[in-house]
Structure 1
């Protein structure tokens, strides 16, 4: 049956870190819209912050993030200045009773920042916003950036969680994606973070890379597990050279086919689960005592642009070029071009240039897609209770899909769920509830 599912669900689909997805954002949601949405946030709301650093000192060919390579620190320094201005502009629009429950630095490579700029940014954020005492502070780390001063700066920032990019430890694979990083260096970073009291370590790995085999991936997973991370993300490499031109440097003939990708995913997942980790949604694993595993168990797991999360914040505010925010009314995105973003921020303007306002139907389908991506299931009773008559068309879609015995989507009493054999195809099943998918020119990566 899985071979039949692989044939059925070969079409590229979104990763569903949001719904509606970013290709359907439009400029009618403007800076003025964003200002009104920020000012409408209720008193005592909990808010998460995302800070985007779109620079790297080398360009990894597999990367699909919004980033650029720089060998000079001058443009990074100018960018930090613009971030500081945007922080002031956004904070001035929020009620003083709003609190920050989480802060995430992403990129690009946030650890490209100098220790001084890390500390300056952190001080500006904490001066402008009111942080909860238990706020989570997470940073994406390129191990090749790290030195003693940066470790110390991260500790001064009260970082609670580090996400280390690993991808693959095999030298041939690393060469093929322009990402040389030894296991020894990665272990050194993990040891230094733990020595400074940073309590949670995440490792990010990829399957489906050029020259990657089940054997080489097995060795990478073994080495990763030896570091005893708290969480592991096992992403499928998204080959989108029409979107990220530098991916054309990857030899497409060296990429594994769909059958091999699925085999790599399943083998790695079995190894990680066999080491005692709980499988979380599509591509994450966590220790049973980790907050993410606990959230999965009690049904509170969420999904946003950083992937799976336990954050229950009422809104996510994005800071920096291309960053995306989510407010109760909809999504907003900042100007992607760093130069234009800096001009806007430098004039004390909000840098939002597009977004989308939620319709009642968007809210219904976003909830279904999130529950499928997190739990591989949802209750039709809960669907009706949450959305009333607005749930009718989505429920009809669910019943129609469940009536097809070859879909991998099943109705069992009150509960729609994805059959175990079909769970690797959760993105494709979620796509059945996406009313935007056939609209517009958006292109996506393969589903597995």
Structure 2
């Protein structure tokens, strides 16, 4: 049966961290649109902030993030000045009437910032926005960047979750992706953040990398489990050299095929679950007492551009080049080109260059896709109660899927559920509800 699913559902599809997905954003969403959406946020709204740092001091060939390689710190310092300017501009429009419940630093490599610049950015954020006393602050860490000064700066800004990329500890795999990082150094970083009373550690593991095998993945997972992280993300490598040119440095002949990728992911998932972690959606795991596991249990788990999250804020504010925000009305994205982004914000302007306004149909389809990605099911009654007539086309699509015995999607007791065998292919099943997918020319990564 799984071979049937693999043949049917292994075609490239979006990761569904938003709906509509980013390739369908358009230039009709302008800086004035974003200004209007920001000022329309009701007083007392909760905010989640995302701050993007698009620089790395080495370029990992597997990476599909918006980032660039720099050999000097000068461009980073100029970018920090621009980021602080954008923070002041956006904060002034909200005028302190909203409260920040979560802050995420992503990249690139946020830990490329000097300790002084980390503090400067944090000061700008806390001056421009009102922070909740229990705000969650997560930072993506490159272990090779770290030193005592950076650890102390992260502690000073109140980091509550450290997220480290592991990928694979096998030396052959690391050389093939230009990411050399020893287990010993990774363990030192984990120990160092815990020594500074950081309450949570997340480790990212990849499968589907060049020269990876089931055996190398198993050894890496064993080492990861020995560190007892609070959360583990298990991602499939997205080979998109047409989108990220540096991925052409990877030997495509060394990439595992779909069957091998599936075997790697299933073995890793079994090992992690066997160690006592709760499986969260497609690719996350957490200890049973972790807030993400509790959110899964009570139905409040969400999915956004950072993946699975417990973040239920009313709006996500993206800061920095290429960053994406989500407001009640729709999505906005900043200028991706770093130089052009800096020119815009240095003039005191917003940096929005595209986005999309949500229609009632978008909201219904987006809700169904998010619930599938989080819970592997959605309720017909809930869909109708939330979206009324806009739910009808979604239910029509669900009926067609449920009527196909090979679809892996079944109707049961008013709920639409993905079968156990089809769960690894939930992205492909969710794609059946995507009314934009056939209209665009975007290319996506493999579904498995």
Whether the TM-score (by the shorter chain) exceeds 0.5 is yes
**CA displacement 1:372-394 (0-9 Å, x = unmatched):** 00000010000100011111111
- Corresponding residue of 2:124: 124
**CA displacement 1:46-104 (0-9 Å, x = unmatched):** 00000000000000000000000001000000000000100010001114221000000
**CA displacement 1:180-233 (0-9 Å, x = unmatched):** 000000000000000000010000110000000000110000000000000000
2 CA distance for matches of 1:109 and 1:10? 31
Equivalent positions of 1:41-52 (< 5 A) are 41-52=41-52
SS in 1 for 2:370: helix
2 CA distance for matches of 1:32 and 1:364? 26
Contiguous gaps of at least 5 residues in structure 2: none
SS in 1 for 2:121: helix
Equivalent positions of 1:125-164 (< 5 A) are 125-164=125-164
Equivalent positions of 1:6-405 (< 5 A) are 6-405=6-405
- 1:46–1:315 CA contact under 8 A, matched in 2: yes
SS in 1 for 2:439: coil
**CA displacement 1:141-188 (0-9 Å, x = unmatched):** 000000000000000000000000100000000000000000000000
2 CA distance for matches of 1:386 and 1:118? 42
Shift of 1:414: 1.2
Instruction: Please identify runs of 4+ aligned residues in structure 1 that moved more than 4 A.
Output: none
1 CA distance for matches of 2:221 and 2:10? 26
- Corresponding residue of 2:421: 421
- 2:56–2:69 CA contact under 8 A, matched in 1: yes
1 CA distance for matches of 2:401 and 2:149? 55
1 CA distance for matches of 2:303 and 2:10? 23
2 CA distance for matches of 1:388 and 1:29? 27
- 1:45–1:98 CA contact under 8 A, matched in 2: yes
- 1:43–1:95 CA contact under 8 A, matched in 2: no
TM-score (norm: length of structure 2): 1.00
Contiguous gaps of at least 5 residues in structure 1: none
SS in 2 for 1:163: strand
Q: In the comparison of the two structures, how many residue pairs are matched?
A: 448
2 CA distance for matches of 1:203 and 1:390? 39
2 CA distance for matches of 1:322 and 1:441? 20
2 CA distance for matches of 1:334 and 1:296? 31
- 2:96–2:128 CA contact under 8 A, matched in 1: no
2 CA distance for matches of 1:412 and 1:363? 24
SS in 2 for 1:317: strand
1 CA distance for matches of 2:63 and 2:180? 14
SS in 2 for 1:97: coil
Shift of 1:440: 1.9
- 2:208–2:237 CA contact under 8 A, matched in 1: yes
2 CA distance for matches of 1:13 and 1:440? 12
**CA displacement 1:88-123 (0-9 Å, x = unmatched):** 100011142210000000000000000000011001
**CA displacement 1:388-409 (0-9 Å, x = unmatched):** 1111111000011011010100
